Structure formats: structure tokens, C-alpha cells
Structure 1
Amino acid sequence: MVCKPMAWASSSENPSSLSDMRGGYLSMPIGYFYQHRYQLLSSRDFFHFHIKFETDYTILSGIMNELQSHAFEINKDVLTFINQNYDQLVKSGLLMPKFLASLNVSKSIDLLRMSYVEDPSLMKVCNYQNLVKEFMKRIQRARYETFIINLVSAYEGYRFYLPSFLDFHGRIYRSGILHFHERDLARSLIVFSNTPSDNFQLDSDEKKDNVYMVLSSAATFHYKKFISYDDPHQWYLDQKSLINSSDESLIHFAIAAREPYQFISKVLCIEGGKTDHMKIPITQGASASAYQLMSFFLLDKEVAKQTNLIPASYDHQKINDIYTFFLEELKVYLHNKLDTNLFKVVVPRLTRKLIKVLFMPLIYGLYENESSQNTSLDRIHKKRRQMSLRIPTEDRDQRKTRAATFANFIHQKDAHIAMLMISNMITIGAPIYTVHDNFISTAPYAMRIPNLYISNINANYPLLIINHFLI
């Protein structure tokens, strides 16, 4: 990906749909895989969706081409830190030992089974299936980490690009596995490749202070969540001396962090790293975007406040969380419905994570599950398992269809807002990367994202948008 990808362009004089757009890295695609992989519409959606252009296709292709023309480079500070502190990172559990990545899985499973059978004490602690599951999980993690670090080491010193494409909702994805759609480790090792002279100069103390505040707040949010916009920067200042006392101290803090490697990345940059502050990616995500859009279309002020779409009247710096709000409301409801003993058993087990799983809108597929009489051999557990096939059907579940229509509408609206955001950021000369409803830029421009996001949501009247979708 060190070569700049080819611009997305039409394969015909008058393109009518996304399927007519070609680009990426192949100029003369040949064969089934290449013909359908290097299209603007994702390969898995190609045969299922025929998405037509309603406006000039060059608007879309222009945005996508600008997006994939942004260059990236490796964060050398983080790579050096990992290489120098590898043993300590393994000891702390932040990395898996490298030898796990090269194990012979079949022989290892056999040895594990023999050890389990020969040691009765193991049977008292866990069952064999769970032991194998955990073992395989660690092997897969070690392989992933080793591959990412090797790939990053190969890319070090180069500028590289990430070709972009769309799914049927219009959401943007990137090719490869080293990008911001990936996990914490991969994200921490990537920075933008622009230089300060490109668009923005730190030519005043005020600008430098603002950039420092954004970076320190970003580092803190990678460590844990806060309920106020004022708290993260102050927390960083309070903990700064401890965090920076040694590499071991930084690793100790990272162990407790929500996103340990991105936390390490920001701290290394802030505290005298070689990486330019103007290249460090800052991520800002919408607060439950589906509920934000619901509040917009239903004109529900309370939900809008709980999703931070509009500020709370009593405290403009407060960060609300709608899933925490749902959790507290559910506790009140259960208190009135359950007897005291049952309430004491149920409520402590309710978590924000559980509430989010229950209340986040889901997409329903048009499939029915049928159990097949065929079986497959599970090579790990040495036994046969019955397979369940997902077979396409013309029969539609009306309830699922109604739910899926709403979910698809929300995803489409999210994608449209992302396109508008990219266009806005390109106009002001800012680097931009999107992960669905998360927007990534550098510190000076990150401060503009919230206002741009709100203005793009309010770009049209709710009823006009709904009518256009239905038509």
C-alpha cells in the first residue's frame, strides 16, 4: 500500500450505479475475484444490491478519492517502545508471547489433552473444552499481534495509503488490516503523514496550549470514561508525574486503560516523543448515533440531551450516556415490580454493557435457520458436530422487516452524515478518517468536529428526509 491507489472512476461513459465504479490498485482487473473485489461497492454486497446514482456520481467519487489520498505512516515512538519493553509488556499481559504464534496447534492440543488427563487437579479447576478454548484464543491473539508488529516494522519509514470502498448502506471501509477500523494495537501504530506546514502552524502559545489540551484529554479518554469535558485534562495533569516516571510506570497505567496502546501512544507523543503533534490521530465518536437520529426525527429533547446532541440545560460540560440512563430507569422500574429479595439478586447483575446489547438497534437478515443432517469434524475436540445452514428464503418476517427497515435507514443516515463530514473537513484542508460514526483527525481540527456533526444532522427537516427515503 505504499503506492497511491488509483482514483475511483467510471468503467462506462454513463455510470448508473456503484457497481460501475472501478479503482483501488488494479488498473486492468481480470477474473472473478479481481472484477468484483476492486469495485466501489463491497464484494459481498455486489450480487445482492443494485445501488443507483440519483445525483452526479463525481460528487461521491471525488469524496472517496480525497479520502483515500490521505497518506499515513508508522508511529515510530510506539514501535520503539514495544520493541524495547517487549518482555515487560508480555509479563503485564498486554502482549502474548511470540512463541505462541509459531506453535504446531495439532501437536499442542494433543499435549494439552494428555496433560489434562494425567493431572486430576486440573479437572477440579476447569473443564477441557474451556481450557482448549482459552488456549486457542491466546494463540490467535499472539498470531495477530506478531503479524501486526512485523507488518508495521516493514512499513516503517514509508508513507502508505488505505484504499476505501462502500457497503450497501454507504458506510466506508478500508482495504488491508492496518487501519483505524482495526483493534487497539493496530490503531496505536498509525499516524497521519501530513506535516505542520501543510495546513496549520503552531505559531502561538494559545494554539500550542489548545493542542496540548486536546492530546492530553484524548490520552485520558483512552484510559477511562468521564462524565464532564473539564475532567480529563485535569486528571492527566494530576497523574502526569507518575505516568512519566518510567516505562514500567506507563505500562502499569496502561494495564488498567480501556485502550492501553492508544493510551501509550498519546502519552509518548505528549511527553517528548519524536512524532509530530500535528500527526497524532484524535478520535471523536457520536454518542449512540442511532438514538441521536431517533431524537432528531421524533423531536425528542430528552433523548437528544441524553445522547449529547443538545447540551443539558443545567450543565453544558456534562457528558451524558443514554445506556446509563436506561439502566437507572430500569432499576426504578424493577424496584416497583419485583419483591425485595428478587430485586437484590437481579439488579447487581445489570450492567451498562448488558443494557447496550438489549437496546442498541439490530439488523435482521432475511434468512431462516435449518438444521442439516450433515456433520463436520471438530479437529480440536476430536468429535463430530452437527452443522446449521443459513438458507436464503423469499418468506419475509413482517416484524423483522419493520425493524430492519428502521435499522437500514439509520445506517444510511449515518453514512450520509459521514460523507458530509468528510466533505466539510476536506474543504478546510483537514486530514480525516471515518469509522462509521467515529471521526478521526488531528488535534487542531478535532475541535471543529462536534459543531460540524450537529450542523450536518440538522441540514434538513426531519419529515423531508423521511419522505425522500420512502420514495
Structure 2
Amino acid sequence: MNTLQNQAFEINSDVLACIEKKEADFIDNGHLLPGYLSHMNIANLYKEVRDCHLVDTGTFQKIGGISELINQLTKQVQRARYERCMLKLAKAYKGYKIDLPAFLDFRGRIYRCGLLHFHERDLSRSLINFAFSNPEMPADSDEVMEALLYHYKSYPSLEEAGISFNESLGEAEMQGRVDPILLGREARHHFQFIAAQKALVKKKIEGFPVTKDASASAFQIMSYFLLDEDMAKSTNLLPSKDKKIKDIYTNILSEVKEYIVRELGNNSLSLIVVRKMDRKMVKSIFMPMIYGKTLMNTSSDIHKSLSQHINLLDSHILASLCFKFWKEKYKGMDSLTSLIRNIGWFAAAKGVPVYYVVPYFRTSQDYMKSDVVKITVYDRNHKRRQISLRVHTDNRDRRKTEVSTFVNFIHQKDAYIAMLVVEKMLIEGGPIYTVHDNFLTTPHYSRKLPSLYADAILELGPPLAIINDMIYANLIWNAEGSSPEGWSHGGGSGRVIPIGELENYLENNMPDGISKKMEATWRQRMKALLLSYESYASSISGVSQDYVGHLDMWLKFGDKVRFFPEGMRKNALHP
């Protein structure tokens, strides 16, 4: 962490100068907001809009009402303040070497703090470079060229990116839009596109930041634990044969539409799903599902998205079908989720924290129930009133522990992978910057990141050994009847724990003096945990033979195909 935080950055003076010189053009094109907006008082703005509403009610109704207009204006004012703050900071830091502080949460995830850091909007990302120089290192413009392509538009493959971008350049030349600002009007990351273009033109390649982002990292980790090759390919953990970039949510979107139409038939509800369900909606449904999102919450979210077209009953039907599709599509995921959550429940029921273990550290999670306590206070006008405070008790919150255990389990593994990648890059001697599963380095070292990420995942070890670690740390360690000499911490080689042995541990460690109702719940949970463990272990047992060798074969990244059509490099470098 000390080395990570000591990485020096500098302001990208070329981008800053471009913004200062052509600020009016950026404002006219909608990429920047006028500076006067940042000085507006939102309270006064509300009064002025309200007065205008009284004079011309009809116009406001067409816009969407006074509340909608105030909401939009407030967002614009906040955006303008953010933009002006970033530009002022960049001017203040210009010419200095700066570092960006970081901290870890209790799971080990890396967070950046401070106003100016890359894990933000397009403008702030474009304003920083690595303060890195190595005269002996050859210039690597290919990675910057790829960054320029993908800042311009999202492409399914590098080959298609080259062809499509070359066509866009041809059209731009015909229309006289050779200037990078004019060319980048349609770019999805406008300022980062300009930054990449200027780095290529001025041959300032060494410190240019190239981003490598893990694709749906939670699903990648799940594909690893389930040994699901299809999911690994759909999250780009494994390369596909066509060498195209996959998007798991786009895949799920097409599959869930087909499933709902097949289940409901060709009626009006299925027609609405086909027409209105999009990737954003699918992500909001299925991404939280692996973290334990409930059917009722999913139904509520679907109703919010499609409230103009369906009622509450229809949204519940669609949510039920989404859950049914999920369980049929990813059977092993349900078993793994249930297993980890039940481990958390047993730890809380025994009155001990939940422990998560990785080689670098151990995380302790201990959620307590809160009681509402009312106290009397006096306000500034000396009026007496009561306020409510939530005070933690000594009683563990079993429900919150159960719901959060799987989330924290995945996040800790994600954090450990990030730590390994950072450590490996530091050994390579390259600069590195990260937030969660998003990595930033220079063009030369960015080539190494995919293989380093794959190696980090391989170092997790056999999935069943990791699950056994979780069981040992929370159910067996210090438990009555445990035998450390016969069942070593670390899960051995990832062997399956005999169900009878695991059942004895749970049976013998039932808390003394519990009620009959709690005893029945304990036995019910015990049955669910044993069933989940047996189901999960059997689902991967066929793949777990020679596991590391199998995964190593999976994760061999071939050389990237670099397809730059003739003339594209020349055109892209044209000032």
C-alpha cells in the first residue's frame, strides 16, 4: 500500500491547455458547462423557477413540471461546480509531482480518496498522467492507439475497431473535421479521446495512462468457483474463439427474453419485455442477484422501470421468471450462495464473528442488532424535543450476517486478486494504480496486465479448498469434537469433507439452552447447509481433477491480434 500510494502523477498539461484554449467550443458542443452555472445559488434558483412557473404554467407542464425542472437544473449546477473544481485543481497542481492516497476497507478492497483521481468522470481521468520516465524503454504507441479506439466507441473486437474507426476518419476528412475536438464530438469518452490523440501526436507515450478493467469481476470469480467455462468466456476471463469482447449482461438479455417468451407465450406481457427490457435493466436485476437480492426487491425494481406498461402483478410475474431462469441457467451458483450464507448464519447463531481468510489477512465481520433510544435535546431556540438514536446491543444480527456473508466473501476474494496484481506489477517494476478491479498503468506495462491478472486468479488455488477454508474458520476451528491433526486448516488439497463428519460438527456444537424453536431452525439450517455443500462439491468434482493444470490451460492468453488498416495510424496522428 505504501508503494502504491507513492506512485507519482502529473497533470496532463496538453489536455489542460487545449481545454483553456478552446473552452467555448467545448461548451457549445455540450462537453463542458458554462462557468457561471457553478456560481448559482440553488435556493435562489428554486425561487426564480417557482415565480416563472406562476407566470407561464403551460410551458412548465410541457417540460415535465416544476419539480422535474428543478431536479435537472440542480444536476447541471452540481456538474458545473465539479468541472470548475477539477480545472482549478489541475491548474494549481500543474508542474508538480502529485500522489493519490488510498485506503482499505475491512474486506481489503482498495479505495482512492481525494478530489482528483482517475476513478471518476471523463474530464478528471483525462487530466492526469503517470510521472514515469525510462529512456531505455521503447515507445509503445499500439496500446495508446487501442485506447484511442475504445475511447471513441465500444467495439466487439480490435479488428472491427480498426475498420470502423478508419471509416469514421474517412468521413471526418470528407467533412473537414480533422481537428481532434471536432473528430471527438461523437466519442463516448470525449476528453480521454483527446488525451490519447495528443499523446500520439506529440509522442508523449511513456506516461500515458492505459486502463484495463476486469469485466464483471464478481461473475468472473463465480465462474472460477463454479468452474463454468461458458461464464468465464462471457466475462472475458477466458478468450473466445472469435476473439471478440463479450458482455455477460448482453448475453443474459437475449437469453432471458427468449426464456420469458417461451414461458409466457406470445402475449402482450412478453411483447413488452421484448421491446422494453434492455441491458441496463438486466444488469440491475441480475448483478445484485448473486449478492442475495430478494424476489420482492427485484419485482419492485422491474415495476419502477416499466411502470408505464405493467402493473404490480405483472412485475411480480416477470421477477419470478427471472429467478426461475437464473436457477435453471446457473444451478451451481444457487448452491454456493446458499452454502456461504448459511455458514454466516451458523457463526452468528453460535455467537461468534464471521471470519474470511486469505493468505495476506483475515477479515472479521460482526454485525450487532440496534435498539432505538430516545433522548431529549434542546435546539438553538431552547425548545425541548426528542430525537431517536440507534444504539448497538450485544445481540448478533443473524439476518444481516446471513445476507451480507456472501457479498463480503466475494468482495474479499476480489480484493485479494487486486492485491496480487499490484504486487506482481511492482515486482515487474512498472507503475500501477487501481480501484477495486480497475487497473491503470503505462502503455508498455499494460501488455502484461492480462497475464498478471490470470496468474493472480490461479494463485487462489482449488475452489473447494477455499470453501473448506471458510467452513473450517467458522464451523470447525475451536469447535467441540474438531480434530485439527486430521483436518488441516487450508482444506488440504481441496478434498470433499465427508458429510457425516460435517454433520457431527454442527450437531455437537449446537448452543446450550436454546429454545425448541431455535433448535428446529438450527436443524433446518444444518440440513440446508449439508445439502448445499454436497450439491456444490459434486458439481465441480468432475472438473477438479488436476484442477490447476486445467485452469492454467484455460487462462493462457494468446498474443492479441493487432489489426490496424493501412493509413489508419497516419490519419489518427494527423494534428
Instruction: Please state if 1:304 is matched with 2:241.
Output: no
1:24-71 deviation per Cα after TM superposition (whole angstroms, max 9, x unaligned) = xxxxxxxxxxxxxxxxxxxxxxxxxxxxxxxxxxxxxxxx11111110
Change (3 A) 1:101 1:281: same
1:109-132 deviation digits (Å, cap 9, x = unpaired): 211111111112323312111111
3-state secondary structure, aligned to 2:212: strand
Measure the CA separation in 2 of the matches of 1:67 and 1:273: 28
CA contact (8 A) 1:280 1:442 kept: yes
Contact 2:110 2:435 in 1 (8 A): yes
- Partners of 1:69 and 1:306 in 2: CA distance: 36
| Distance in structure 2 (CA, Å) of the matches to 1:171 and 1:124 | 46
Q: Tell me if the contact between 2:257 and 2:273 (Cα under 8 Å) persists in the aligned partners.
A: no
1:266 aligned residue: 196
**Pair 1:428 & 2:428 matched:** yes
TM alignment of 1:445-456, pairs within 5 A: 445-456=445-456
Residue-pair matches, total: 380
Q: Structure 1's 177 and 366: CA in aligned 2 closer, same or farther, altered over 3 A?
A: farther
Aligned residue number for residue 406 of structure 1 = 406
Residues 432/328 of structure 1: CA separation in 2 closer, same or farther (3 Å cut): same
Q: Counterpart of 1:383?
A: none
Query: Do the aligned partners of 1:432 and 1:440 also contact (CA within 8 Å) in 2?
Result: yes
**Structure 1 residue 249, shift from structure 2 partner:** 5.0
- CA–CA distance in structure 2, aligned partners of residues 326 and 412 of structure 1: 26
Distance 1:91 1:191 in 2: 27
3-state SS of the aligned residue for 2:434?
strand
Q: Which amino acid aligns with 1:201?
A: M
Q: Is the 8 A contact 1:164 1:173 kept in 2?
A: yes
1:229 pairs with 2:230: no
**CA RMSD, 1 decimal:** 2.8
Distance of aligned partners of 1:395 and 1:423 in 2 relative to their CA distance in 1, 3 Å threshold: closer
Partner secondary structure for residue 196 of structure 1: coil
> Which residue of structure 2 aligns with residue 358 of structure 1?
285
Q: How does 1:145-294 map to 2 (within 5 A)?
A: 145-197=83-135, 201-202=137-138, 208=139, 211-240=140-169, 250-270=180-200, 272-273=201-202, 276-294=204-222
Q: C-alpha separation between the residues in 1 aligned to 2:398 and 2:185?
A: 46
Moved more, 137-146 or 350-359: 350-359
Matched, 1:327 2:328: no
The reply on whether 1:347 has 2:274 as its aligned counterpart is yes
Distance 2:114 2:155 in 1: 33
**Cα distance change of structure 1 residues 124 and 336 upon mapping to structure 2, 3 Å threshold:** same
Does the residue aligned with 2:31 lie in a helix, a strand or coil? coil
Q: Deviations over 1:283-337 (max 9, x none)?
A: 011111111111111111111111111122x32x121111111111101111112
Instruction: Classify 1:296/1:330 alpha carbon distance in 2 versus 1 (closer, same or farther; 3 Å).
Output: same
- Counterpart CA distance in 2 for 1:77 and 1:425 is 28
In structure 1, C-alpha distance between the alignment counterparts of 2:153 and 2:370, rounded to whole Å: 41
Does the Cα contact within 8 Å between 1:170 and 1:412 map onto a contact in 2? yes
Report the secondary structure of 2:10's partner residue: strand
Deviations 1:422-445 (A, max 9, x none): 111111111100121111111111
In structure 1, the residue corresponding to 2:211 is in which secondary structure? strand
What TM-score results when the alignment is normalised by the length of structure 2?
0.61
1:180–1:435 CA contact under 8 A, matched in 2: no
Deviations 1:432-467 (A, max 9, x none): 001211111111111111111011101122122223
Shift of 1:252: 4.2
Partner of 2:34 in structure 1? 97
Identity of aligned residues (%): 40
Deviation at 1:186, TM superposition (A): 0.7
Letter matched to residue 123 of structure 1: F
Larger radius of gyration: 2
Q: Which structure 1 residue ranges, 5 or more long, are not aligned? A: 1-63, 203-207, 373-386
**Preserved contact between residue 112 and residue 435 of structure 2 (Cα < 8 Å):** no
Paired residues for 1:131-146 under 5 Å: 131-146=69-84
TM-score, normalization by structure 1: 0.74
Unaligned runs of 5+ in 2: 294-366, 375-386, 474-575
Q: SS in structure 2 opposite 1:291?
A: helix
Q: Distance in 1 between matches of 2:21 and 2:388?
A: 47
Could you tell which deviates more after superposition, 442-451 or 354-363?
A: 354-363
Contact 1:243 1:250 in 2 (8 A): no
Using the alignment, how far apart are the partners of 2:469 and 2:27 within structure 1?
A: 54
For residue 221 of structure 1, what is the amino acid of its counterpart?
Y
Secondary structure in 2 aligned to 1:284?
Answer: strand
How far, CA to CA, are the matches of 1:388 and 1:136 in structure 2?
A: 31
Distance 1:273 1:243, change over 3 A: farther
* Structure 2 counterpart of 1:338: 264
- Counterpart of 2:80, as a letter, is A
CA distance in 2, matches of 1:256, 1:118: 38
Say if 2:381 is the partner of 1:444.
no
Change (3 A) 1:212 1:411: same
Distance in 1 (CA, whole Å) between partners of 2:185 and 2:277 is 25
Maintained 8 Å contact 1:227/1:319? yes
Native 8 Å contact 1:297 1:462 kept in 2 = yes
Q: Distance in 1 between matches of 2:81 and 2:178?
A: 25
Partner SS for 1:431 = coil
Instruction: State the 1:89 CA deviation.
Output: 0.9
Deviations 1:57-106 (A, max 9, x none): xxxxxxx1111111000011111111111111111111111001112332
